[in-house]
Structures are given as C-alpha cells and as structure tokens.
Amino acid sequence: MAGTLTDEVPFLDLREVNARHADALKAAVARVIDSGWYVLGRELEAFEREFAAWCGTRHALGVGNGLDALTLILRAYRDLGELSPGDEVIAPANTFIASFLAVDEAGLRAVPVEPDEATFNLDPARVEAAIGPRTRAILAVHLYGQLADMGALGDIAKRHGLLLIEDAAQAHGATRGGVRAGAFGDAAGFSFFPSKNLGALGDGGAVVTSDERLARRVAALRNYGSEVKYRHPHRGVNSRLDEIQAAMLRVKLQHVDEDVATRRAVARRYLHGIQHPAIGLPRDVTGESHAWHLFVVRCARRDALQRHLRECGVHTLVHYPVPAHRQGAYEGAWDVALPITDRLSAEVLSLPMGPTLDADAIERVIDACMAFEADP
C-alpha cells in the first residue's frame, strides 16, 4: 500500500484549517490595522471577555504563549503569598517540558509523578502518595486533550490545602458535567499555538481564573509589573497577546465547538476501525471529557509502525520521544524511577487528527494501520 503524491494524509494541514475562515480572518486583521492600536487594546479586551465566558470563568488574560501563562500563574501566587521559593508542585512526568519549565521559572520545585497508564494523565493515588511537607500545588495537565481526573484531584487539593492549577494547553473544548477545561481549578493556562484546537496564526496564550486577586496580579505582571502606566510596583515581564492575534482568535473561537465535535467523530471512526492486536488504542471516551487535540496510539514497535505509515503516505508525529526527566536540561534533577513514563515515550504515536480530515483520509489511515505487519 504505497502512498502517492495525490493520497498523502498530512498530520494536520493548517492552511486548510485556516482557509475555512480566510475572509473573516483577513477582515479582523484589517480592522486592527485600520484602528492604529496594536497592543492591549479593544480586540484583546473583547477576546478576553468572550474566552472567559466560553470557559466559564470570571477572567481571562491574554499573554504571549502557553508557557508564559503557566509561569505567570505561579509567579502571581508567589507574589500573593500563596507560594514561596522552593515550594513543591506535583506534576505529571508524562508531559511536554513546558509544564516543568514554568515551575522552574517561578522559583519552585517540580515533583514528577507517574501517569495513569490508561489515560496518560495524572494518577490521583500517586499524587496523594507524593505529597510532602513542602507540597503547595498540583499542576494537572490535560494531555492530548483529555481531562485529568479533576474530581479526585480537586478532593485531594481541598483535603491538603493545595492549589490546583490546570495546564489546559491541549484541552480547548474538553468538558465534564457541563464544566469546561480551565474552570475546574484555581487557575488554568492555555496555549494558542497554531496547531491547537483554538489556534492563533502565531504564538499566544491565556490565563483563566475566577480569582480576582490572581487576575489583577497576572494583568500587572504580563505588562512589566504595571497597573498604571510608568508605575511598576511589581517586577513583571513583557508577555501580552497582541491585537491582531486576539482579533483572529475571536473569529476562530466561534468555531471551536464545531471543530471539537468533528475531532470526536474522527476519533470514534479510528476507535471503531483500527482493530490491530499490535496497536493499542487510547481509552474510548464516549462523553465530552476528551477534546481530541491528538489521537495517540501505542505500539511496542512504534518506530516500525511509523515507517510503515509513512510509506503508505500517512504522516505521524511522536508526542513526546524524550520525557522531561531524560532531557539534558534536567540531568540529575530527580533521583527517581519513572518506568511508565519511559515506556510511553518509547511506544506512543500520534495519528492524523484535525477538523478538516475527510472520510477518505480517515479510511486511508485505518487501512494503513490494519496493513501493518507486527512481526519483525
């Protein structure tokens, strides 16, 4: 089953994703250009109101990217006296490195905890076992678009007096019990990287929260620590979602729910059609708790499967081939065995997923997976 130039299945075609809204996006950009105001203006204010309402929180603050969103949450809690230098933040070992970098940037110490192997997300039992005298927060990552067990994690946080922060960078549109990602914890960080379910046409991020004090402090920290121009009571940074990106995100926010519904339909087709003994499927989530930012399978011969799919014209990616505790940046940081995380990094493979994937492309992906010869 060799692929040809006419039947390639891209991992995600961002040109096609954005072409659906080209006229509205161009009009939004033109509106900003004509306004003459390009930073911290009306478009950002409007997007922040709309995004907060969509998430179900009182506040949203647009920032430069998803990493800054998490860092600013933690820094703001430090400023407000909720956290102190050296305090510990429990985080999943199985995550993108940004989750750990944010903790470091805030002067805190990350404690990696193994995931639940069925969901790839934080295992609440292991979280509770990892709580120590310096633990002050839990950072719950909704990996691949699936909500972590926020009910159990919320109970743990409440019993131990811990902050509960969501890394919702991949979870736009995930819901449980009518509550969206971002509205479960004390605060959440979102990314608007172009490939996200709600993606800008450049970098961007947001902090969402219903905590008034936190919102005010993040608003100041993102703008050089200033609440009033040329007055800087806090040591801040420059991390502001610009007007053009905010205007385009306002356009795309109107379509996120529809796009997530399409992603769920693609996932259902994959779950039904891929029945290969060597390919482990993600947990079948029949509700709305998974936004399917990524559709990630497992295979003991992952590299062979990826080569086979590429030969069939199916493009895939690995999220993530090297876990954070194996990165050079964290050499010697933790003296801990993380066998589940190591195993996942060697076995996971992300199949094509997106709101523009048509039925023919989906079937080609399924057929290619089913044609994989598992025996070496």
**HSE (CB half, 13 Å, CA atoms) of 293?**
26
Residues contacting 5, CB < 8 A, separation 6+: none
pLDDT tens-place values along the chain, 376 residues long: 444 445 899 999 999 999 999 999 999 999 999 999 999 999 999 999 999 999 999 999 999 999 999 999 999 999 999 999 999 999 999 999 999 999 999 999 999 999 999 899 999 999 999 999 999 999 999 999 999 999 999 999 999 999 999 999 999 999 999 999 999 999 999 999 999 999 999 999 999 999 999 999 999 999 999 999 999 999 999 999 999 999 999 999 999 999 999 999 999 999 999 999 999 999 866 567 899 999 999 999 999 999 999 999 999 999 999 999 999 999 999 999 999 999 999 999 999 999 999 999 999 999 999 999 977 7
CA–CA separation, 256 and 259 (whole Å): 5
The backbone region for 81, taken as left when phi is positive above 0, alpha when psi lies in -120 to 50, beta otherwise, is: left
- Which contiguous run of DSSP H or E holds residue 208? strand 205-209
SS3 state of residue 314: strand
Centre a 10 Å sphere on the Cβ of residue 336 and count the other Cβ atoms it contains.
Answer: 12
Give which of 197, 209, 246, 162 is closest to 57, Cα–Cα: 209
CB-CB contact of 146 with 119 (8 Å): yes
pTM above 0.85, yes or no: yes
Give the DSSP letter string of 239-274.
----HHHHHHHHHHHTTHHHHHHHHHHHHHHHHHH-
Centre a 10 Å sphere on the Cβ of residue 229 and count the other Cβ atoms it contains.
Answer: 8
- The per-residue pLDDT for 283 is 83
Q: Which amino acid is at 304?
A: A
Before 320, cis peptide (omega within 30)?
yes
| Tally of helices (H runs) and strands (E runs) in the chain | 13, 11
SS3 state of residue 356: coil
CB-CB contact of 242 with 179 (8 Å): no
